């Protein structure tokens, strides 16, 4: 008789998120946006794991959420579809992270960069935050019949515009490309203020991710 799977997968959009997620019994995969769905090794690993968590940063849509605030999604919503995370796993995480917010997580294919875009998405969907990975992760979990949860921490709040250089620096493998970032900043030095604000927000988000990961504990509180 085969033994039940004893590890979970954490899927992240950025390398630093994956570094925070790692731990005993947690296998991490990292890619930005739709590149998640193209990782054959993730599909293979999903066949032998106990569950999948989408872990990392998100853009704030609800003005009440600040950088570093944690969202445990009650629903993952994308154009044309939605998925409700596993209620038992979600309940276990909420017990570990009592200060985490609930609500809808909107999933998009491109960064929600401007205040206006964030406001429109919030009004249209009721979602409190947005990311580019969780819908791909949710669909992979559904295909394999696995429980799924999304734990995301706000980085850029609803009132913040993302500077173009930050978007230019994003790589599909979850890394940061210094060249495009510096070229964009040199061409448009007026972004410097927004870059400084984003760096401050990112420090708060990192602290929030570290805190959430520590509170979630082994296997992200997964219950077999």
Q: Report CA-CA distances (Å) from 114 to 25, 117, 125, 163.
A: 38, 5, 17, 9
The domain ranges of the chain are 8-160+203-221
Tell me what pLDDT residue 104 has.
Answer: 98
Evaluate whether 152 touches 54 at the Cβ level (below 8 Å): yes
CATH 3.40.50.1580 fits 8-160+203-221, yes or no: yes
Tell me what pLDDT residue 1 has.
Answer: 34
Tell me what pLDDT residue 5 has.
Answer: 60
pLDDT per residue of the chain (224 residues) written in tens, 0 to 9: 344 467 999 999 999 999 999 999 999 999 888 788 878 888 888 888 999 999 999 999 999 999 999 999 999 999 889 999 999 999 999 999 999 999 999 999 899 999 999 999 999 999 999 999 999 999 999 999 999 999 999 999 999 998 889 888 888 878 888 898 889 888 888 888 888 999 999 999 999 999 999 999 999 999 87
User: What DSSP string runs through 116-163?
Assistant: HHHHHHHHHH--SEEESSHHHHHHHHHHTT--EEEEEEE-S-TTPPPP
Q: For the whole model, what pTM was predicted?
A: 0.92
Residue 135 dihedral angles phi and psi, to the nearest 5°: -70, -35
């Amino acid at each position: 008789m085969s033994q039940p799977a004893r590890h979970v997968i954490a899927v992240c959009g950025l390398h630093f998120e994956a570094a925070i997620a790692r731990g005993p019994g947690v296998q991490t995969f990292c890619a930005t946006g739709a590149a998640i769905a193209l990782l054959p090794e993730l599909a293979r690993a999903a066949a032998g794991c106990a569950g999948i968590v989408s872990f990392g940063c998100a853009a704030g849509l609800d003005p009440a959420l600040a950088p570093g605030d944690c969202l445990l999604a009650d629903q993952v919503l994308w154009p044309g579809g939605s998925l409700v995370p596993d209620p038992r796993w979600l309940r276990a995480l909420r017990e570990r992270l009592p200060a985490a917010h609930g609500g809808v997580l909107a999933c998009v294919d491109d960064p929600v960069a401007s205040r206006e875009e964030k406001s429109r998405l919030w009004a249209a969907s009721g979602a409190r935050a947005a990311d580019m990975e969780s819908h791909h992760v949710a669909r992979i979990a559904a295909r394999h019949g696995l429980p799924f949860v999304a734990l995301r921490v706000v980085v850029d709040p609803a009132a913040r515009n993302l500077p173009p250089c930050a978007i230019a620096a994003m790589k599909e493998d979850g890394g940061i490309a210094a060249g495009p970032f510096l070229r964009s900043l040199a061409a448009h030095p007026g972004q410097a203020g927004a870059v400084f604000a984003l760096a401050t927000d990112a420090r708060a988000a990192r602290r929030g991710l570290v805190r959430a990961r520590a509170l979630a504990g082994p296997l992200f509180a997964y219950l077999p």
